[in-house]
Amino acid sequence: MNLFLEKLSRLKGDDRNRRWLFVPYDQLSDQLGPLARENPRAFGIILIENRWKAERRPYHKQKLAFVLSNSRHFALEQAGRGVAVRYLFCDSPYCEALRPLCAELGPLEMMQPAERELRVDLQPLLDSGAVKIIPHEGWLTTAEQFHASQKNKMPWRMDAFYRHVRRATGILMNSGKPLGGKFSFDAENRRPWKFEPAAPTPPSFALTDIKAEVGELIEKHYAHHPGRLDLSTLPATLHDTEQLWDWAKRECLPWFGPYEDAMSAASRSLFHTRLSPLLNLHRLLPQRVVAEVEQLELPLASREGFIRQILGWREYVHHVHDATDGFRNLPSVEIRKAPGDGGYQRWTKKTWPASLSDDARLDGGAAPAVLGDQTPLPPAYWGEESGLACLDHVVNAVWEESYSHHITRLMVLANLATLLDVSPRELTDWFWVAYSDAYDWVVEPNVLGMGTFALGDFITTKPYVSGAAYLNRMSDYCSHCAFDPKTICPITPLYWAFLARHAEKLKTNQRMALALATMRKRSATQRRHDQKIFEKIRETLIAGEKLTPALMEA
C-alpha cells in the first residue's frame, strides 16, 4: 500500500473547485460518463478499497487481487491525466465511508451502479441528495428496448430481445435483414474439438510494482480466502487490457464460432477470450468490443456467436436482474437474510467471519427453487476429489484461475448440481465467490435462471441438463475418467432420475417432451436403479468422499 500511495501522492494536484464523482469498483474507465468528455482537471474522483466488501463473502484470492490491482492502476492513470483522486481505505459499508466526503465536497455524482448490492448500500445517500445518479453509459441497450422486445409479456426470452436490439442497432444487419439470412448461428457453434486447430495459450502479463504490492496485501490480510493467487495471469494495466484483447482477436475469435460449446482437459479456455472480467469492470468497453468484432474479417458464425454473448445474453441478464430487483419482486420467492458462503463452512468446518452491516436491506439474495432443490453443495466444488473427471478438471481450473468458460459453467458445474438437486441459491453464492467476473447481476440470472432452472421457464425455455453422452460428445473428459460414459458413468442415471423426480413439474414444457417420453420408456427396474444411484451419489458427494466404479456396482 505504501508504494501505491507514494506514487499517487507524487501525482497529487490541487483538488479545490472540482466536480466530484464516486467511481464504483466496476466502472474503471475514463471512456464513459463525464470523464470521457470534459477537462480532466475539472474533476475529482473517489475510489474506495473496502475490506468490508471483500470480507462479505469468501471471495477467491485472484478475484480480490484483480479488482484491487485494476482499481489502483486506474487511480494512477487518472491522476496522471490531471484528475484529482481521493483513494479511501475502509472497513464499513460504502454509505458510511462516503458520508463525510459528501459533507466536505458537496453532492457527489455517480453513474448508476451495475450491482444491486451497491445501490442498496448507497440508497440513504441517494435519498438525501448527497449522491446524485447519472446514467450508466457502459450498457449497449436500454430498459425501454428490453421491455419493448418482450411486448409486456411473460415469460421473457433472450431471442426476442436479441432480434429486437439487432434491428434497433443495425449490428450485423443489411437493409433491415440479418447478415447470412438468420439472426443466430447457434447451431453452427457445437463442434467438438479434436486438438486441431491448436488451442491458443493465454498470455502472461508483466508484473508491476502495484500488482506485487496487491499480491502481498492479499497473502497477508486475505490469506484465509480460498483459491490460488497468480499475478502473472492478472490483467490490470491498460497495456494488459490491450494485450489480452489483441490476443483474443488474433488467436481466439477466428475459431470461436464452431468450438464455442467444446470442452477439453487439454485447454481450459479453448477459443474463449477470457475478456468477461475486464468487460465487467469496464476496463474494456463492450461498445468497443462489439464494434471491432463486427468489422473483423472472420467467419460470420464466429462474429455472430461472440456478439450474441455481449449484445444479447450479457445485456439480457442485466435487464432481467434490474427489472425484477434481483428476482425479489417475483411472487413467493424466499429472500435469504444474510450472504451465503457457497458451502465454505461445510468444506472448511469454519464459519465465514462475514463483516455484515446492521442494514437489513443488505440481504443474502433471492432463493427461488421451482423444483424444490435443497441438497447442500458437495465439497467437490471446493476442491475435494469427486472421481468424476469432468467435475474435477473444471473445479481445479476455477480454484487455480478464478475462471472457466461459460459452457463448462453450464454443462458441467450447473448441470451436475441440478442433477443432484443442489440448492440453487447455494450454487449461485459459490459462483459469486469463485469467479472473477461474477457480480449479483451476472450470477443470479445465469445460475438461478439458466443453470439450475430455479425460476422455471421465466427467462429460459428448459432445464439445461444432460447425461454422459453429451459430455462425451462435446469434451475429452471421459477419456481421463474411471467411469465409462457408455456403461457405468453415474451422470446418465442421474439424468434419468432427475427427469423422473421432476416429471410432474416439467410435463407442460414442450422442449422436455421428448426427453420425458424417453424416460417413461425405461422399465420400472431401470427407474428404481436410477433413483438408487442418485441417492448413493448424492450421499457420497455430500460426505466429501470420492466416487468409484465399485459404487455403481454395489
pLDDT digits (tens, 9 = 90+) for 206-215: 999 999 999 9
pLDDT number for residue 462: 96
Tell me the C-alpha distance between 28 and 78, whole Å.
Answer: 10
Q: What are phi and psi of 110, to 5 degrees?
A: -155, 135
Answer yes or no: are the C-beta atoms of 465 and 498 closer than 8 Å.
yes
Q: Where in the chain is the domain with CATH 1.25.40.80?
A: 143-323
Amino acid (1-letter code) at residue 447: V
pLDDT tens across 445-475, in order? 999 999 999 999 999 999 999 999 999 999 9
Band (pLDDT 50/70/90 cuts) for residue 554 is low
Q: What is the mean pLDDT of residues 59-67?
A: 99
The predicted model gives 359-387 an average pLDDT of: 92
pLDDT in tens, 262-317: 999 999 999 999 999 999 999 999 999 999 999 999 999 999 999 999 999 999 99
Domain 341-346+371-553 has CATH 1.10.579.10: yes
What is the band of 407 on the pLDDT scale with cuts at 50, 70, 90? very high
In angstroms, rounded to a whole number, what is the distance separating the alpha carbons of residues 303 and 281? 23
Categorize the per-residue pLDDT at 355 as very low, low, confident or very high, splitting at 50, 70 and 90. Answer: very low
pLDDT band at 553 (very low <50, low <70, confident <90, very high): confident
- For residues 538 and 21, give the distance between their C-alpha atoms in angstroms, rounded to a whole number: 50
Where does CATH 1.10.579.10 sit in the chain?
Answer: 341-346+371-553
Record the pTM: 0.97
Name the burial class of residue 25, with classes exposed (0-12), middle (13-18) and buried (19+) by CB atoms within 10 angstroms of its CB.
buried
Using DSSP, state whether 518 is helix, strand or coil. Answer: helix
CB atoms within 10 A of CB 408: 27
Q: Of 23, 19, 22, 24, whose CA–CA distance to 43 is shortest?
A: 19
Residue 85 has pLDDT above 80, yes or no: yes
Q: What is the pLDDT of residues 245-276, one digit of tens each?
A: 999 999 999 999 999 999 999 999 999 999 99
Q: Please list the alpha-helical segments (H only) found in 386-523.
A: 389-401, 406-408, 415-419, 424-434, 440-443, 468-474, 491-501, 503-506, 513-520
Whole-number pLDDT of residue 495:
99
Cα–Cα distance, 48 to 332 (Å, whole number) = 36
Domain range 143-323, CATH class: mainly alpha
CB of 184 closer than 8 Å to CB of 158: no
276 vs 286: CA distance, rounded Å: 10
Q: Is it the case that residue 358 has pLDDT exceeding 80?
A: no
Average pLDDT of span 182-206: 94
- What is the SS3 assignment for 179? helix
> By C-alpha distance, which of 463, 469, 476, 367 is closest to 419?
463
pLDDT at 357 over 50: no
Average pLDDT over residues 214-230: 97
- What residue ranges of the chain are covered by domains with CATH 3.40.50.620? 2-134
- With bands split at pLDDT 50, 70 and 90, how would you rate the model's confidence at 350? confident
513-520 and 491-501 helices cross at what angle (nearest 10)? Answer: 100
Beta bridge partners of 20: 44
Question: Are the C-beta atoms of residues 329 and 315 closer than 8 Å to each other?
Answer: no
pLDDT at 1: 58
The Cα 417–Cα 144 span in angstroms is 35
**For position 351, what pLDDT does the model report?**
86
Q: State the Cα–Cα distance between residues 214 and 76, nearest whole angstrom.
A: 14
Residue 359: per-residue pLDDT: 58
> Do 200 and 181 form a contact (C-beta atoms < 8 A)?
no
All three cell numbers of 445: 440470472
- Tell me the C-alpha distance between 285 and 23, whole Å: 16
More confident residue, 358 or 254: 254
> Does the pLDDT at position 381 exceed 90?
yes
Indicate the CATH number for domain 2-134.
3.40.50.620
Instruction: Give the total residue count for the chain.
Output: 554
Cell of 352: 465465514
Query: Closest by alpha carbon to 357, among 88, 97, 131, 115?
Result: 97
Residue 212: partners with Cβ closer than 8 Å, 6 or more residues away: 231
Q: Grid coordinates 453443495 are at which residue?
A: 377
Measured N-to-C along each axis, helices 143-150 and 158-169 cross at an angle, to the nearest 10 degrees, of: 120
User: 377 — alpha (psi -120 to 50), left (phi > 0) or beta?
Assistant: beta
Q: Which amino acid is residue 323, in one-letter code?
A: A
Residues 6+ apart with CB under 8 A from 387: 482, 483, 546, 547, 548
Per residue in 125-183, pLDDT (tens digit) is 999 999 999 999 999 999 999 999 999 889 999 999 999 999 999 999 999 999 999 99
Cα angle 143-149-150, degrees, rounded to a multiple of 5:
95
Cell of 374: 435443497
Percent of the chain's residues with pLDDT above 90: 93
**Among 363, 364, 371, 417, which Cα is nearest to 390's?**
417
Give, as one character, the DSSP assignment of residue 204.
P
